[in-house]
Every structure is written in C-alpha cells, then in structure tokens.
C-alpha cells in the first residue's frame, strides 16, 4: 500500500512569489493534516481536513496560506505571496479515523529567498 | 496550548553506549507517539503509548510513559550506527491535533 506522498520534495522561490504544495494521502483516509517545521523548531499543526471539509484550521499562520481538498482526495496548500519566514518543511499526514495514528509524508522543503 | 519539551536537541553517542531522550508535556493527553525520521524520508511511527506506566520495546529502543509526571522517555540500549536519525515525540489530545517536541538529532559514532 502506498504511503502519504508529497510534491515537490523541494521548492526554492523568491519572496513575493506563489507556491503550491500537494499531498496525496493514503487511499481511504478521510482525515488529512498539514504541519510545518521551521528550522530548529517543533513541528506545528496547520490544519485538519475531514474529507473535503476543514475541521480545524487554527494553526494556519495568516491569510497568505490557503488549503484545499477538493473531492476529499488530495490536498493542496498554497502560499501567496510567500515571505521569508514561510521557509521550512511542510508535512502532510493522514489517518483513517479521527483519533487514529497519523501517517506522515516525507515533507516538502520550502525555501523562500 | 499544550507544550511539549524534548531534550536533548542533539545527541552524539558512541556505539555500544546507552542513552535516554526525554519528552515532557504540559497538560493531560490521550496518547503519546514516538517517531523516527531519516533525512528526506517520512516520519516513521515507532511507538504509541496509551496509558500510565505503558512500556514498549522494539529492538534497542524502549519507550515508557508516566502520565502523572507528564513524561515519556525513549531509551536507547547499546546504540548502533543504524539508529542515527531524528526522533520526535508527539502528544495527541481529543481534538486529534498532534503537538510535537523539537526533535532529537541522534548521531551514533562508530
């Protein structure tokens, strides 16, 4: 069974540009999460989807971040316009049911110059 | 907000030695996880600890949970080079959001 996949693995963009990250959860997992790790800090929660609905977006840093999960399958996280402090590793995770173990993808390393 | 403190941040140890990674959290939780991450790879689940006094072992790694002290430990016995990785603890609450520690970057030196 394929695990959680993320694309791209790395992205280097300039301040002010737009970047879209993609996450494909494990098939059949209704719950999808986005997390971010800024250099040297802890991995922090961004938001949680149940199917196509946003269940909790309390961790989204500001309105430059937009997450979608159309059709309840893959999800995208768009940063527009990107700022220097957005640099970090963005992880996606999925779980079959709320409260179950979360399975993580390898992350997308975003560098904003 | 639930806070999770993990230490040390960096750990360099010789093969064959023992060491412990600590994970403290600030409020009650439902579950505690330990993950391992190799460079460029996914976070791999190592242990799930559900109740006070829980102890789980896999190979040279042993994890324990003391919910009264809000403390979990990951003990490494007779370290080998293959254990070099970054280890994270994560605490989960009813809302399902995970709260992570800062991670411990472990390097085992031959």
Query: What tokens does A21 get?
Result: 């990250």
Q: Which of A56, A103, A105 sits opposite B97 (nearest CB)?
A: A56
* A82 to A46, A66, A74, A85, B81: CA distances (angstroms): 16, 12, 22, 8, 39
Q: Averaged over A84-89, what is the pLDDT?
A: 96
The C-alpha atoms of residue A29 and residue A54 are separated, in whole angstroms, by: 15
pLDDT at A1 over 70: no
Residue A74 has pLDDT above 80, yes or no: yes
Which tens digits make up the pLDDT trace of B46-60?
A: 999 988 889 999 999
Task: Say if residue A48 is preceded by a cis peptide, omega within 30 of 0.
Answer: no
Is A101 within 8 Å of chain B by CB? Answer: yes
Interstrand relation of A5-7 and A19-24 (parallel, antiparallel or unpaired): antiparallel
Q: What is the pLDDT of residue B30?
A: 75
Nearest to B4 among A31, A33, A42 (CB): A42
Cα–Cα dist B49/B63, whole Å? 8
Least confident of A11-15, B5-9, B95-99: B95-99
Which residues pair with residue B31 across a beta bridge?
A: B92
Of the listed ranges A32-36, A108-112, B29-33, B102-106, the one predicted with least confidence: B29-33
Long-range contacts of A47-53 (CB under 8 A, 24+ apart): A48/B96, A48/B97, A49/A75, A50/A98
What is the pairing mode between strands B10-14 and B104-109?
parallel
pLDDT mean across residues, chain B: 92
Contact (CB<8Å) B43/A9: no
All residues of chain B having their beta carbon less than 8 Å from the beta carbon of residue A95 are: 96
Q: Is pLDDT above 70 for B67? A: yes
Separation of alpha carbons A42 and A40, rounded Å: 7
* Residue pLDDT, tens place only, A15-36: 999 999 999 999 999 999 999 9
User: What percentage of chain A has pLDDT greater than the value 90?
Assistant: 87
The confidence band for B40, taking pLDDT boundaries of 50, 70 and 90, is confident
Residue A52 has pLDDT above 80, yes or no: yes
pLDDT-derived band at A39, boundaries 50, 70, 90: confident
What was the pLDDT predicted at B95?
A: 61
Q: How confident is the model at residue A70 (pLDDT cuts 50, 70, 90)?
A: confident
Give the pLDDT band (50/70/90) at residue B70.
very high
User: Is the N-terminal amide bond of A82 cis, ω within 30° of 0?
Assistant: no
């Amino acid at each position: 069974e394929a695990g959680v996949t993320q694309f791209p693995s790395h992205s280097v963009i300039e301040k002010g540009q737009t970047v879209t990250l993609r996450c494909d959860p494990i098939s059949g997992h209704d719950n999808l999460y986005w997390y971010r790790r800024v250099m040297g800090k802890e991995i922090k929660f961004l938001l949680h989807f149940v199917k196509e609905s946003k269940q909790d977006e309390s961790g989204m840093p500001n309105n430059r971040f937009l997450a979608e999960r159309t059709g309840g399958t893959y999800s995208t996280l768009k940063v527009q316009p990107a700022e220097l402090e957005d640099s970090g590793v963005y992880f996606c995770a999925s779980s079959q049911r709320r409260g179950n173990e979360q399975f993580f993808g390898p992350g997308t390393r975003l560098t904003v110059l | 907000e639930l806070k999770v403190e993990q230490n040390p941040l960096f750990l360099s140890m010789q093969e064959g030695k023992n060491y412990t990674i600590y994970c403290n959290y600030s409020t009650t939780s439902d579950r505690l996880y330990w993950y391992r991450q190799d460079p460029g790879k996914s976070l791999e689940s190592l242990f799930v600890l559900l109740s006070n006094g829980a102890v789980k072992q896999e190979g040279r790694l042993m994890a324990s949970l003391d919910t009264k002290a809000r403390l979990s430990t990951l003990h490494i016995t007779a370290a080998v080079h293959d254990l070099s990785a970054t280890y994270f603890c994560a605490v989960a609450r009813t809302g399902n959001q995970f709260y992570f520690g800062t991670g411990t970057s472990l390097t085992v030196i031959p």
